[in-house]
Structure 1
């Protein structure tokens, strides 16, 4: 007998992975080809801190161990509350229609090659931040990418 999958917690993270020169990593969803996004994911437990959710999701979706690759995870202290797309509401408890998304930035020392989870993502690419924002299917993801220069200014040479 297979146990029922628990409902998703309507609290998640969005992690904008970028380089010092503001190249942004986007990954293409396997369940919706053509939908490009940053790393996202829901909490596994109500008491899981958002930063831990961010680290876990980065590992699961890209294979990047943040400390091992020399990354710096920053909590941007932003939260988006948005309507869950109707075609994804079946993953949540009945009546849940809104999600709170905590936004993080992850600066890597350079554009690294991710190891994608094949059931979750089909492809990846690095783009300049303004082009990445245009490619994101989610308005909150696009807005977060547009905020990148504010939260991670390009170092002066």
Structure 2
């Protein structure tokens, strides 16, 4: 799946928002809004460790593993091992300045097998991408802190 748009914001401001997401300090995607996020760098309570960002929604933990975070290129590649029964799930976001006030934001997600899209169709990803682009353009990605969203209270934890 490939999504792309141009947003009206300085590339450094957009990267600052995306960079906070890599540290599990902010939420970008629609599906992760009413939930907690945490960073797992050391094993805790029997949980695996690594460069994971754990997003929890509807009682399900989604383990996003950063493959590559490249601040100089404003690029993030991550995978979600086993997500939705997928054998392969990897996504790449890269911010490319058009000028000093606008940025092209492509988001490419590869999944295998195609039956994964029966569970998570293109329109779910489109909605998430629209929210991602709006968050980057606003310059705020809903900083993670205790909050009530849609009547559900959640809190972010960072394990170090």
Same fold (TM over 0.5): no
State the TM-score, normalizing by the size of structure 1.
0.25
